[in-house]
């Protein structure tokens, strides 16, 4: 090994397996050039012997940001969810090296999230994001057997009863958000998911107007989480037509590309402090309405998720024996019987009515058997009596 100077820059050269290696150290320091020579020889030795170079572990905040940047070609909702959980995980582990996170840290995080009243499904999603970040650095395999997913409830969704529906509609009508009532009616009577309602534009509505009122119509879902859901058509009920007549009249300047439920601000006007919609941005969809929904549920003294509106729509269709499963799938966008069974939570009254038909059928069969038995007994008696008669 030797170090020599060429001009103002030091170079190094050495033989490795009979081959001369000559490279510039790109420095005018002889000491640094010697270190560069040793490092280069070490690098070649590791490569020849197939010894992988040890990766320098980054902070979790850096690893999470790099992982998120690698998520491309995914749905916007999925990216949004990943961004949210990367943010929450960075708050928890951001200042630690990614290699320092173990199964005990994950168990502690699970308990913390449950104490914050997060659902098991939400916690599992967050842990799944953490798993993918650790896996990207080869760190998940060592702890995978020690991490257990939380058991998720499969019966979370439920249909809204008629009484509770009336309470929620009354509460929504008094909500500070002017959009909550039309959003609720549309969701109950069309079964659209929140993301599907948010993506609706004026061009997706096929409406028939008469005397300034929507007489009938249908909507087409432009974007859905499932292939079967995208492009499906759902006819409008009379109350959806009525509520949309009032809602759409707020935006007379709307065009075909305008969102049905645009982004807007709400203020209070007058001595009565009534909510007033202003600064509507027709080019952007409405944001979240979780807070308004939570306030309405509290006012109605009921507890439902927004997605239960969709459960209600599908359940009411499933309760009607004249509505086929294929029709339900066409309206709701389902693609499998398993998903249909997940959403069609038939109420106890419908089940009781079904059992009642069995009771009626059993009673009818019993009555028929009784009549048949009586007729047979009479015929046998008559036959016996005839044989006993003298000739």
Taking residues 170-198, report their average pLDDT: 95
Residues 6+ apart with CB under 8 A from 252: none
Low-confidence winner among 86-90, 319-323, 352-356, 364-368 (lowest mean pLDDT): 364-368
Half-sphere exposure of 230 (CA within 13 A, CB side): 5
307-356 pLDDT tens trace: 999 989 988 888 887 888 888 888 988 756 666 666 666 656 666 777 77
Strand locations in 131-192 (E): none
**130/143 Cα distance (integer angstroms):** 12
HEC profile of 48-94: HCCCCCCCCCCEHHHHHHHHHHCCCCCCHHHHHHHHHHHHHHHHHHC
| CB neighbours of residue 309 within 10 Å | 27
Half-sphere exposure of 106 (CA within 13 A, CB side): 24
pTM over 0.85: no
Residues 6+ apart with CB under 8 A from 383: none
**377/370 Cα distance (integer angstroms):** 11
**191/237 Cα distance (integer angstroms):** 12
- The pLDDT assigned to 388 comes to 47
DSSP 160: P
266-275 pLDDT tens trace: 888 878 778 8
| CB neighbours of residue 105 within 10 Å | 15
Local structure of 34: helix, strand or coil = helix
**80/76 Cα distance (integer angstroms):** 6
Q: Where is mean pLDDT largest: 63-77, 146-160, 364-378? A: 63-77
Query: Which among 107, 110, 105 is positioned nearest to 94, based on CA atoms?
Result: 105
286-302 pLDDT tens trace: 998 999 999 999 999 99
State both tokens at 306.
Answer: 């927004």
Q: Sheet of 2-6: strands edge to edge?
A: 2-6, 9-16, 19-24
**207/216 Cα distance (integer angstroms):** 6
Locus of tokens 């292939």: 227
**63/84 Cα distance (integer angstroms):** 15
């Amino acid at each position: 090994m030797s170090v020599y100077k060429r001009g103002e820059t030091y170079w190094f050269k050495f033989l490795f397996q009979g081959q001369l290696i000559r490279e510039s150290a790109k420095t005018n320091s002889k000491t640094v050039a010697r270190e560069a020579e040793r490092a280069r020889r070490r690098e070649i030795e590791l490569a020849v012997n197939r010894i992988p170079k040890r990766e320098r572990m980054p902070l979790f905040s850096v690893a999470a940001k790099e992982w998120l940047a690698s998520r491309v070609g995914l749905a916007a909702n999925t990216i949004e969810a990943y961004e949210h959980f990367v943010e929450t995980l960075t708050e928890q582990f951001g200042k630690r090296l990614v290699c320092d996170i173990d199964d005990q840290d994950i168990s502690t995080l699970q308990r913390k999230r449950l104490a914050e009243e997060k659902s098991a499904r939400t916690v599992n999603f967050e842990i799944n994001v953490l798993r993918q970040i650790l896996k990207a650095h080869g760190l998940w395999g060592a702890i995978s057997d020690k991490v257990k997913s939380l058991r998720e409830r499969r019966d979370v969704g439920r249909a809204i009863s008629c009484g509770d529906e009336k309470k929620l509609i009354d509460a929504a009508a008094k909500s500070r958000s002017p959009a909550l009532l039309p959003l609720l009616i549309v969701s109950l009577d069309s079964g659209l998911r929140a993301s599907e309602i948010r993506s609706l534009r004026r061009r997706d509505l096929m409406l028939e107007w008469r005397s300034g009122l929507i007489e009938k119509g249908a909507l087409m879902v432009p974007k859905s989480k499932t292939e079967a859901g995208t492009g499906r058509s759902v006819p409008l009920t009379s109350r959806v037509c009525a509520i949309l007549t009032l809602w759409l009249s707020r935006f007379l300047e709307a065009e075909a590309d305008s969102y049905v439920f645009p982004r807007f601000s709400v203020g209070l006007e007058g001595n009565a402090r009534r909510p007033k919609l202003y600064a509507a941005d027709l080019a952007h969809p409405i944001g979240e309405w979780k807070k308004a929904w939570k306030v309405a549920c509290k006012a109605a003294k009921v507890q439902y998720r927004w997605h239960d509106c969709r459960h209600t729509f599908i359940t009411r269709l499933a309760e009607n024996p004249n509505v086929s499963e294929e029709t339900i799938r066409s309206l709701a966008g389902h693609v499998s019987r398993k998903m249909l069974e997940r959403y069609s939570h038939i109420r106890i009254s419908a089940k009781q009515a079904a059992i009642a038909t069995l009771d009626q059928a059993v009673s009818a069969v019993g009555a028929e058997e009784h009549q048949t038995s009586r007729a047979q007994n009479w015929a046998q008696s008559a036959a016996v009596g005839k044989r006993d008669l003298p000739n």
